[in-house]
Structure 1
Amino acid sequence: MSRLLKLSLFCLFFTCLFSCKNTKTTSATYAEFVKEMNEKGFSTGNILVYKNGEIIYQNADGIRTIDTKEPLTLNSQFRLASVSKQFTGMAIMKLKEEGKIDYDQTVKSILPAFPYAHITVRHLLNHTSGLTDYERILAENWKPEDTTKTYIFGNDEIIEVFYKANPQLDFPSGERWEYSNTGYLFLASIVEKVSGKHFSNFLEETIFEPLAMNNTVLYKYQVDADQNMPNRVFGYETALNQVDLVPNDYNIVNDVRGDGGIYSTLADLYKWNQALVNNTIIQKSYLDEAWTPGVLNNGEPTKYGFGWFINSESGDPKVVNHSGGWVGFRTFLHNEVDANNGFVLLTNNSAENYDTTLEALFNIMAGRPYVIPN
């Protein structure tokens, strides 16, 4: 059976559920996808696509906040959630470059109160430490003194509760890979201890300012609108009645730094990916190590480096990326390093249509058909 016939039968089979189209990797195809989504009543968030280092498509589609219903713009600043982790990885790399830290030194040698003697900085970077989830520890070991107060915790408050609880490791360090927000929280605190600077200031001085990422910040969270950050995007979701929109932006741990908390824009994240491709933020040797999968105690490689998922095999063109998800935000930053192709996807509507949009971006880049849900 020919490939064309197979594709025709595939589209016919799904005709009652999906609209299926052949695509070519052009800016017009991305615009066509967004237009068709809009015609179905779906928004796609903010998208930027680049090829051979040049932006070929960018668009803002959605609302910045349900309070005013004002539309998103290309300058809207989204919470990146776990896409922030690569900046934490870079902060550690910059300290390594300065000779102030070693990946294989123990965390306890930097943070003396840290209760685990054998966990190293590399374990934290690679998600192989065995540290248990700090949200669970907080839920089990902390109760609000004032139930009418809105609490917002950061690293210091979380670590205090964590140290008092002194939980057992989920597994011996290096024995397996398990995604760990706790590990990246401690990485940010390590940066602060070694540098003597607040993590937000360190990021600003060593990464954001040198790269002219002028709309990127580790945000000191506040619940209400902030006149000093007029382009800040707020998360929301659709209520159970499928009509009303309700806020989905606050969480008690919204000030934790290291595992998330950075806000940024399409243009700034494009600058970031270009800085990585062109080695303008750090020497190539450091990035080569950061984009090498971590290794378990048994010698088995993982799929994660120092804040990036590694989506290429040894010897293949280098591809790294990371997703983010927190309160109303879902984000994705994709970087085909060797080809200098990639995209940025930023959304704030609690993942509504996120998976469809993300899949379409990958398909259009590859010249494959995309689908529009009915």
Structure 2
Amino acid sequence: MKKRIILYSLLLISIGTSFTACKKKERIAEKVVKVNENGLPVLNPLQEVMPTLDPNYCNDKKLRIDAFFHKVWNKEDNVSFLVAQNGQVLYENYNGFANRSKKELITADTPLHIASVTKVLTSAAVLMLVDAGKIKLEQKVTEFLPDFPYPDVTVLTLLNHRSGMKNYAYFTYDDGNWDRKKELSNQDIISVMKDKNIPLESKTDTRFGYCNTNYAMLALIIEKVTKLKYPEALKEMIFKPLGMTHTFVYETSKHKGNVSLSYKGNMDLAVEYLDGVYGDKNIYSTPRDLLKFDVARYSPSYLNPELLKKVYHGYSNEKKGKRNYGLGIRMLEFEEGEPFYYHNGWWHGNTSCYIYLKKEKVTMFVISNKYTHKTYKTKQLAPLFGDYPFKTIEGKGE
């Protein structure tokens, strides 16, 4: 009898525990809204709290990052710089002019042009639509854009740069294919490719070829699927739900004359007819806003596990080497050491660098609006956090 009572009690405890766990899961699920009132997938802030870093650890990293910053950057440079781990800012620094003639300084709240780091956000929006069942990776681009002239190109080959297309910056410049006194749009790119019979550079899905045209087309697919212009779609799906209040897609009609300027190395201004194309570039943001985006992607509601694996899988395997490209992310895969995920950017005087140390949950954002290669030296900080065979800030290593 006593044994029966004990077994009955254990059963009640088990049922109660399971019920409590289920209710807890329900409460967590209630906090995660994957679709907004317009039926669009949205990227919500991470609900779970990441482990707090030890203060001594943080102080050590801060001192070493600060030493790197002042070794690389000087008071004449323009830069926004941030390093974080587990979503906690370890170090940030802001220097130089957003607008030199007006003496407007770069601060933590100054949006700068992030150039090709834009591709990381464009790919995120596309993948969210894939996860929501609104797009399939294997779908042909012609299913979305009927005038698109290359029948074998798929969404996947746009994301991983295996479409074989030529760069619009070159073929619109050549042979009078476009009146360079007129600003080019994303849709204009399709018109030129079709009307001027622009050939592919290589047969689709036969080799990797980094090409901005791929991401300009992805922006049009986002527009077709969401029924919103690309700037508004990214605002609804990513910027607004994450509170990225200093982030936007540049539109000439709205923003010309009201954004941070782009300077060449000699501080001359840089503008041209290609400045209206987006998806491959044209997002303005701050490191703090980009950190919100980075942390949100740790949420289990971001992408399903199988799709997420495809993001960090390399698709550029024509020849052996450490350089590779996933879906909207570059990677270096070493024989020894952790895979290094990153994306660099350059447009006019704007240079940018996003580094994502996946294993250590470390992220780095560096943006400059005055042309420099210093931005790309940031990878030297990776050995501070893990097994990455780069030359370190002390000058050791590869």
Compute the TM-score of the two structures, normalised by the length of structure 2: 0.75
Which amino acid in structure 2 is aligned with residue 344 of structure 1?
F
Q: Out of 62, 83, 94, which is 1:49 matched to? A: 83
Which amino acid in structure 2 is aligned with residue 128 of structure 1?
R
Q: CA deviation at 1:252?
A: 0.9
Alignment partner of 1:209 is 2:240:
yes
Q: CA deviation at 1:53?
A: 3.0
Cα deviations by residue, 1:282-326 (Å, 9 ceiling, x for unpaired): 334332221211266999997111110133469975642100100
**Alpha carbons of 1:35 and 1:111: their partners in 2 closer, same or farther (altered >3 Å)?**
closer
| Residue 257 (structure 2) aligns with | 225
Q: Is the 8 A contact 2:68 2:393 kept in 1?
A: no
Q: Is the 8 A contact 2:182 2:273 kept in 1?
A: yes
Which amino acid in structure 2 is aligned with residue 343 of structure 1?
M
| Residue 338 (structure 1) aligns with | 359
Cα deviations by residue, 1:100-148 (Å, 9 ceiling, x for unpaired): 2111111112212111111111111110111011111111254776x8x
- Rg (Cα) greater in structure: 2
Alignment partner of 1:257 is 2:278:
yes
Which amino acid in structure 2 is aligned with residue 89 of structure 1?
S
Alignment partner of 1:235 is 2:262:
yes
Q: Out of 188, 207, 218, which is 2:219 matched to? A: 188
Which amino acid in structure 2 is aligned with residue 56 of structure 1?
L
Any idea what SS the aligned residue of 2:91 has?
strand
Q: Is the 8 A contact 1:63 1:70 kept in 2?
A: yes
Which deviates further from its counterpart, 28-37 or 118-127?
28-37
Alignment partner of 1:247 is 2:282:
no
Mapped partners of 2:320, 2:392: distance in 1: 36
1:1-374 residue pairs with structure 2 within 5 A? 26-36=61-71, 42-43=76-77, 45-142=79-176, 151-221=182-252, 224-226=256-258, 232-239=259-266, 245-248=267-270, 250-294=271-315, 303-312=324-333, 319-351=340-372, 353-355=374-376, 357-362=377-382, 368-370=392-394
Q: CA deviation at 1:47?
A: 0.6
> Which runs of 5 or more residues in structure 2 are unaligned?
1-58
Which amino acid in structure 1 is aligned with residue 356 of structure 2?
N
> Which runs of 5 or more residues in structure 1 are unaligned?
1-23, 227-231, 240-244
| Count of matched residue positions in the alignment of Structure 1 and Structure 2 | 332
Q: Is the 8 A contact 2:72 2:374 kept in 1?
A: no
Q: CA deviation at 1:57?
A: 0.4
**Alpha carbons of 1:279 and 1:344: their partners in 2 closer, same or farther (altered >3 Å)?**
farther
Q: Is the 8 A contact 1:142 1:161 kept in 2?
A: no
Q: CA deviation at 1:352?
A: 5.5
Q: Is the 8 A contact 1:331 1:347 kept in 2?
A: yes
Which amino acid in structure 1 is aligned with residue 269 of structure 2?
P
Cα deviations by residue, 1:186-221 (Å, 9 ceiling, x for unpaired): 111111122221111111111111222121111103
Measured on the aligned residues, the alpha-carbon RMSD in Å equals: 2.9
Mapped partners of 1:70, 1:78: distance in 2: 13
Mapped partners of 1:353, 1:118: distance in 2: 39
Q: Is the 8 A contact 2:215 2:280 kept in 1?
A: yes
Q: Is the 8 A contact 1:60 1:72 kept in 2?
A: yes
Mapped partners of 2:322, 2:145: distance in 1: 28
Which amino acid in structure 1 is aligned with residue 160 of structure 2?
N
Q: CA deviation at 1:184?
A: 1.0
Any idea what SS the aligned residue of 2:276 has?
coil
The sequence identity of aligned pairs, in percent, is: 26
Mapped partners of 1:63, 1:156: distance in 2: 34
**Alpha carbons of 1:76 and 1:221: their partners in 2 closer, same or farther (altered >3 Å)?**
same
Which amino acid in structure 2 is aligned with residue 233 of structure 1?
S
Mapped partners of 1:179, 1:260: distance in 2: 14
Q: CA deviation at 1:89?
A: 1.0
**Alpha carbons of 1:164 and 1:302: their partners in 2 closer, same or farther (altered >3 Å)?**
farther
Which amino acid in structure 2 is aligned with residue 51 of structure 1?
Q
Any idea what SS the aligned residue of 1:254 has?
helix
Cα deviations by residue, 1:203-254 (Å, 9 ceiling, x for unpaired): 111111122212111110368522xxxxx32111243xxxxx3112x12111
Q: CA deviation at 1:83?
A: 0.3
Which amino acid in structure 1 is aligned with residue 218 of structure 2?
L
Instruction: Compare relative contact order (CA 8 Å, sep 6+) and give the higher one, 1 or 2.
Output: 1
Which amino acid in structure 2 is aligned with residue 252 of structure 1?
Y
**Alpha carbons of 1:274 and 1:348: their partners in 2 closer, same or farther (altered >3 Å)?**
same
Mapped partners of 2:357, 2:71: distance in 1: 27
Cα deviations by residue, 1:308-360 (Å, 9 ceiling, x for unpaired): 013346997564210010011000011112211121101111116334x5255
**Between Structure 1 and Structure 2, which shows a larger proportion of helix residues?**
2
Q: Is the 8 A contact 1:80 1:261 kept in 2?
A: yes
